[in-house]
Amino acid sequence: MIHPREAAVISFDCYGTLIDWQSGARAAVNAIPELVDLDTDSLIARRLEVELEVEHEYYRPYDQVLALSIQRTAAEYGVELGDAAARSFANSIAHWPPFQDAGGFLKRLATVGTPMAILSNVTRASLAVSVRKLGARFDQLITAEDVRSYKPDHDHWLELYQSRQIEPAQQLHIAGSIAHDIRPASELGAITVWVRRGHEPIPDDVEPDLIVQSLAELGDYWRLHYSR
């Protein structure tokens, strides 16, 4: 690990790292009458897998990815979900809440002075709503809408490196997803922090530079090791 001041940029995934997408998605699923009798946790987990499949077909705006992924997942459970219900799920992203530790962490990190960025698979409009909820200022926002592809493809990172004229080893990337963020960032040579909120199994094929259970724990780690 490096001191946050030594990084050229500190970047984040947003949904699953700063924004609690699982709580938001669960509330959205529970609000759809056709889905109330299904196993919500199983449905949400499977929808995320389907989302990856949809993203790799060809580029669609993320609201369409959300709508299509919930429709396809519901169909696997024997439910034909109409377009209006699917759109309601997609539109729910505006209501997904920040994690409780996100705002305070970002406020403290801003005092370090290192530029902060978000690399996200959503649209610019959706990300703007979430950033306002976080109450933090980011120097750069890179979305799938900008690069016309989805993580774990490398385009978000390559855009960051090109636009800031930096090398991967100068980037400190903080994220909650191994598949979408930690693995591709590690492949490119970035320094990575895995925020392992859900206690997922630690994979054998990727080694984050640091693993924490929350942003609060990461803040404590930095205070302990880098306080002056």
Task: Assign residue 140 the CATH number of its domain.
Answer: 3.40.50.1000
Q: Report the pLDDT value the prediction gives residue 227, as an integer from 0 to 100.
A: 63
The Cα 6–Cα 34 span in angstroms is 51
For the entire predicted model, the pTM comes to: 0.94
pLDDT at 228: 54
Same domain, 15 and 43: no
d(CA 15, CA 118): 10
For residue 25, what is the domain's CATH number? 1.10.150
Q: Which residues in the chain come in under a pLDDT of 50?
A: none
Residues 16 and 124 in one domain: yes
Same domain for 127 and 15 = yes
pLDDT digits (tens, 9 = 90+) for 60-117: 999 999 999 999 999 999 999 999 999 999 999 999 999 999 999 999 999 999 999 9
Q: Are strands 210-212 and 9-12 parallel, antiparallel or unpaired?
A: unpaired
Question: Tokens 């990727």 map to which residue?
Answer: 206
Total tally of structural domains belonging to the chain: 2
Q: Which residue has the tokens 């320094």?
A: 191
Domain assignment of residue 45, given as a range = 21-95
Residues 114 and 190 reside in one and the same domain: yes
